Chain A
Amino acid sequence: MLASVVALLLSSGCAGLSGQGGAGGDLPAPVRQVLPNGLRLIVQDHRAADIVAVYLYVGVGVRYERPEQLGYSHFQEHMLFKGTDKWGPGYIDRAVEGVGGRTNATTSFDYTDFYIVVPTEATEMALQTLADMVFRSKFDPNEVAREREVIFEEANIETDNPKAAIIRQLYGLVFADNPYGSPVLGTRPTLSAATSEILKTYNRQYYTPENMALVVAGPVEVKAIRAMVDRIWGVVPATGYQPVPAPAPRPLAGPVHRTVERPEQQARLAMGWQAPPANDLSGDAVDLLTTILAGAESSRLAKRLRDQERLVSSITMNYAALMGGGIVTLRADLEAKDLERVEQIVLEEIVRMQESGPTEEERQLAVIQFESQHAFDTETSEGLANAYALAETTWTLEAELGYIDRLGKITREQIRDAARRYLSRTNYAQLAFRPKP
């Protein structure tokens, strides 16, 4: 449940194309400005509805946590909804829902994101509420104790959701000894040790204007937004915060195979490879490669394993470009007896791709998937706002704006070479969920 909503939010990639004839259509270009205190502000005029999306990305997540701090980025994020020096717990939810709006937040590896989506006339309220949350939260000790129990429940939900559990455990295998292999939710000992004071200190260290990207998208004027942001966000002093570069993961030496017995009768297979980090443009070819292999409904592996041999009920492949290093994941739902056969066929298809690359039709079809994803993002203000804030945090807005154009120029040979370089037949991790006998 949770995962699918998060997927909805995070899958809004490939924004941009401003002013070009492609899927972007008639949107004006976004305006990017940097406030004197270092806050990056991006404003997108988007007139599809009388709704404004405010997105904030903060450069903090699991990869910034020391082992004894595991889960603090996430715990701290929860506390930002639990009262500020001006307002008690529950105020934020009532304020936003009371105008018909929505708010939520997500903690990830490289960043933590927040959004408030409201009718246009409530834009200033949204900007003020969000600033209060991130800079003036109270961290009341009683609230900390209560919220800890909520997070323990969140971990139980993840355990009960095999789709989430298999990918999380696969990250642990592909990114062994790297923070990207750690659980976002932390562990019972680390969460139990977190006090109000510890979480507040953590908040003050990372929630600084220089470590934030703020995007406002909707039927708005840049000048008016800038004036509001100056008044509300511009007065927060810079702290001189300097981010540390993401550590590159140790190369995966494999194959690593692991089997976990689970209560469900549905078996699942996951496979993972290390891939280029977010700022590496060679990742563009990996995007097309994963789409051609198993990222689209008519991908090679879906056709063969789902439609022809009927060994899987679903199969998907995904490339996640994290800042320190990327990961390609493959996931299939199948019956336990077919686990080995399916893994064998996946490897066969990888070899075939490494030998002869994709067809021209496959290349075009993959490009159109991304063009389309971008076009559907432009239906709503939050689709664009999220894509820009994410790019500003883990990549660059410029790289994002040229994304679809670049994908269109990737050749079949480049896709074949990406398969040779990244989809090793030996250095990969495999994880199987089997029903308990």
Chain B
Amino acid sequence: MSRRSLAATLAAGFAALGLLAAASLAGAADGATGAVARTRLANGMTVLVRENPTAPVVGMSLMVRMGTRYETRQTAGLSNFLQLIVVRGTTTRDGTEIVSAADRMGGSIDAYADADYAEITATALSRFWSDMLDLVADVTLRPSLSDGTAQAVRDFLVRQIRNRADKPYDAAFDALLARTFGDNPYGWDALGLKESVERMDRAALLAHYRRHYVPGGMVLAVSGKVKRQDVIARAERLFGPLPAAPAPAPNTTPPPAPAAARVVLTVPGAQSQILMGGLAPSLTDPDLAAMKLVSTVLGGGLASRFFSELRDQQGLAYTTAAREPLRVSPGYFLALLGTAPANQEKAEAALREQLERIQKQAVSDEELRVAKAYLLGTLAMDRRTNARQAWYLASLETAGVGYEFLDRYQAQVRAVTAADVQRAAQKYLATLRTVVAEPPPK
């Protein structure tokens, strides 16, 4: 939009940063910012407010306990579908009026579902905070879920699912998730499956809305240049009338046992994508911190083993990283590498060698120190903007651990030893599945 936002897509970056946490930067604004106030409304809804006067802006996150974790293979994608449609029309505003209202506040409003939660996310210039909160409440409480919009959103989603299959990395990732989790609801992307999404209608959306948009599982987090008492008072007026009801239970189908299977897909593209993955500790598992350090040592940043050895020393990749998102139930660990088809065999062997070495040899103290600094630094830097603050507050509350979790987690990370890292690697990396997406032979 700005004249300076030069052809972003044209500039050539040095690192494959897109695969790191979507961290903007640094953190720990604690000196300049207020503490968090947590309020429970009479109907059970939670409101979290963080005063942060440093910039004239506000970030808001409204979350409900809904997402793939609450779906089955038959309803896969319903949560995300519902999120897309709630911000596209209420009983008093159509979709265009909603985005126009947000634009007039110098902000935005959007909604999507993830694995453990579904979010309505909004930002605005802080002088418009109450108008934006009204808008968030309007889409939360009075979505029209009209037939016409449902049809348009369904067509859009079916095309998005189709497009994912065209992208080598996405196709490989979806294949790995499906095999790692089976009928466990982490086994599909939030977009859902073509077969399930094609069948979804207004009645299904309405039922899903009624089941999940209940105060028992609902959290509102607001961070920015606002007054705590004003936000709480307004939230009470807007959301207080909602009748109390408990949050629904998730789908607890267990994932299949790990297996060292290997699958090859053919997807047109210039690169081959190599993915290896398996199950990883949940948010509350005592192994979490040690396993996050396994991921960080292997593929956390530019100093990580994948990046320095596979990319810098062997020139086998441009993109290579490890991922391990925080999940309420056991989630996944993933090692990934994109390379030229000619290098594929060598790169796959090199990646496998990395995953074996960390099980056999303890990491050095220096390597562990750098990994801890990187992991904690990423977290601190990612928490600086109000939008991210609101996201952390709401998602951790929705996960049932509260924002206080981050203090415990950081202490656990600091306490991890080289022996802990090796034990976690042996436990979680012993049996991994492999998916390769390669271009068709020329």
Interface residues of A (CB under 8 A from B): 1-8, 10-14, 23, 25, 47-51, 53, 74, 77-78, 81-82, 89-90, 93-94, 96-109, 117-119, 145-157, 159-161, 163-164, 167-168, 171, 184-185, 263-266, 278, 283-284, 286-287, 290-291, 295-298, 302-303, 307-308, 310, 313, 318-322, 326-327, 329, 335, 365, 368-373, 375-376, 378-382, 387, 390-391, 394-395
Contact = CB atoms under 8 A, between A and B. Distances in A.
Given A152-B340, A286-B3, A372-B57, 15 more contacts: A5-B17, A12-B4, A51-B26, A51-B27, A98-B374, A146-B314, A149-B316, A265-B162, A266-B166, A296-B1, A313-B159, A370-B2, A372-B106, A372-B125, A380-B384
B28 A51 contact: yes
Contacts of B95: 307
Contacts of A265: 159, 162-163, 166
Contacts of B6: 10, 108-109, 320-322
A50 B159 CA distance: 44
Nearest to A296: B103
A295 B312 CA distance: 39
Interface in B383-410: 384-386
A71 to B, nearest CB: 9
A12, A154, A329 — most chain B CB neighbours (10 Å)? A154
B331 interface: no
A3 B319 CA distance: 13
Interface of B: 1-19, 23-29, 31-32, 54-57, 94-96, 99-100, 102-108, 123-125, 152, 156, 159, 162-163, 166-168, 268-271, 301-303, 307-308, 311-319, 338-340, 369-370, 373-374, 376-378, 380-381, 384-386
Contacts of B23: 102
A414 to B, nearest CB: 15
B8 A47 contact: no
A90 B313 CA distance: 10
Given A51-B384, A290-B1, A8 B12 contact: no
A49 B29 contact: yes
Contacts of A151: 318
A3 B8 contact: yes
7 closest A-B pairs by beta carbon, nearest first, are A100-B377, A13-B2, A1-B18, A372-B106, A51-B26, A7-B8, A149-B315
15 contacts: A10-B6, A12-B4, A25-B55, A51-B384, A100-B374, A103-B302, A108-B11, A118-B26, A150-B311, A265-B163, A321-B4, A372-B106, A372-B124, A379-B55, A380-B385
Nearest to A113: B11
A93, A108, A378 — most chain B CB neighbours (10 Å)? A93
A370 B2 CA distance: 7
Nearest to A382: B25
A104 B55 CA distance: 25
A117 B270 contact: no
B2 A375 contact: no
Contact of A168 (B10, B102, B307): B10
A7, A286, A372 — most chain B CB neighbours (10 Å)? A372
